[in-house]
Structure 1
Amino acid sequence: MLITEAPFTLRKWTVEEYHKLGEIGFFNPEERVELIEGNIIQMSAKGTAHTSATRRTASVLRNLLGDRAAVYTQDPIALDDNSEPEPDIALVIIDPLDYATHHPTPSEVYLIIEVADSSLTYDREVKAKIYARSGIADYWVLNVNDRQLHVFREPVENGYQSELILGENGRISPLHFPAVNIAIPEILPPIRSN
């Protein structure tokens, strides 16, 4: 006998319920979680390459953009009622209240970057779909293992229509800041010489 339906359904969470869980101390303070499509996802530990690339990318963006945009690292983005990811880097509109009353929403996001060491498939498939569905026009996945940058643009309901893969010698400009030119080696972890 072939069973075509699971005898159970998963309970989905809203952003409001997710926040309440955090307020009552449901999550361990050291636990890294995010809400994706109503599911509470436990994020993997950050390796040294991931940490280095995140730090380097944020620094490069801050230096190049100055006071034209805010660079947030691993802070929540309010996509909709069921998704509040914490991307490695979000380039957002500067808010005079520093987002004290709300997390940045898609209309306030210029660029989202996820750094992938062990999460490449998840970032390219699951996260790309939720970011595209929310209208994030510029989404990058920095693949530190293969030393590549995946650039996703032209969002539609089911994902992005365009994915460009740049090698480590490539250069890229954020859509909203075309005069800003970033060399991929500047945001990748440095290669150790022996």
Structure 2
Amino acid sequence: MATAQRVTQTARTPSDPQRAEARPRNRNLFKTGDRLEREEFEQRYALMPHIKKAELIEGMVVMEEHVHYDAHGNPHARLIGWLTHYAWNTPGVEIADNATVRLDDTNEPQPDVMLRVVAGGRSRNDEDDYIDGAPELVAEIAASSVRYDLHAKRDAYARNGVLEYIVWRTLDGEIDWFALADGEFHPIPADQNGVIHSRAFPGLALATAALVKGDFATVTAALRDAMATKAHRAFLASLQRQAGG
């Protein structure tokens, strides 16, 4: 990443006027469908400050289209609110929105939301302030991007060890929650009350239909009940031990 940072500085403040003219400020150095390795993807991305979100999924560039309110923006905010409530009540767990994740040489996604264990977890915040490795849980809003969120991206997350994957298919009004087993994602069934319970994060539970409908009282009650269990208290104790507390 240091190379990319040096190139970025040269591109923005070139000493040669001809070089500045040859590299327009808003020039796109890749487009959706281009095939790149991660290192080259990072170098080109660093030269495109006007692009706010681009991902490398199984070696292919995917650039975000216009973000719609009902299809993406509002559901995204709902997921963040639910996961933030859990993270704030679970010290040692952190939530992040659209942070770059270095998974492997052909995958560098920016998940809509992630939840990760800080001390002793499966990922780390590296020297470039990127996440290196697989977060324990990733959640994506899949409106128009369903073709790769539930296929290529899901495969990349599974292969790299993401433990749980949530996909909100907003055009279908459905939320899928998968858990990793034997290298593949399998759906986690809901309980008799329509609540799905995380296997990676004790105390994390979601009333999926309620979240889709905007029934936040039911969503909050289900989460509060799950965080009041012995399993969540035991998880809090283990996180404290891992942090050296």
TM-score range, shorter chain: 0.7 to 0.9
Higher RCO (CA-CA < 8 Å; seq separation 6+): 1
Q: 1:47 is matched with which residue?
A: 68
* TM-score (structure 1 length as normaliser): 0.76
Question: Structure 1 CA distance, aligned partners of 2:213 and 2:43?
Answer: 37
The correspondence for 2:131, drawn from 98, 104, 111, is 104
Tell me how far apart the structure 2 counterparts of residues 103 and 28 of structure 1 sit (CA, whole Å).
17
Q: Which of structures 1 and 2 has the bigger CA Rg?
A: 2
Matched-pair contact (CA < 8 Å) for 1:35–1:41:
yes
Kept in 2: contact 1:135–1:155 (CA 8 A):
no
**Bigger fraction of residues in strand:** 1
Greater helix share, 1 or 2? 2
Q: 1:19 aligned to 33, 42, 56, which one?
A: 42
Aligned partners of 2:198, 2:38: CA distance in 1, in Å?
29
Alpha-carbon offset, residue 181 of structure 1: 2.1
- 1:31/1:42 contact within 8 Å kept: no
2:170 to 131, 144, 155: 144
Query: Within 2, Cα distance between the matches of 1:181 and 1:113?
Result: 14
Q: Matched residue pairs, number?
A: 174
Partner of 1:154: 180
Distance 1:39 1:89 in 2: 21
Alpha-carbon distance in structure 2 between the residues aligned to 1:163 and 1:45: 30
Task: Return 5+ residue gaps in structure 2 as ranges.
Answer: 1-32, 216-245
- Following TM superposition, by how much is the alpha carbon of 1:104 offset from its aligned partner in structure 2, in angstroms? 2.0
The correspondence of residues 1-194 of structure 1 with structure 2, limited to 5 A, is: 12-23=35-46, 25=47, 27=48, 29-49=50-70, 50-66=72-88, 67-94=91-118, 99=125, 101=127, 102-107=129-134, 109-156=135-182, 159-160=184-185, 162-164=186-188, 170-185=194-209, 187-188=211-212, 190=214
Unaligned runs of 5+ in 1: 1-9
Same amino acid, percent of matched pairs: 23
TM-score between both structures, scaled by the size of structure 2: 0.62
Q: 1:33 to 1:170 in 2, by over 3 A?
A: same
Deviations 1:11-50 (A, max 9, x none): 7422221111123x2x351453111122211222221121
Map of 1:4 onto structure 2? none
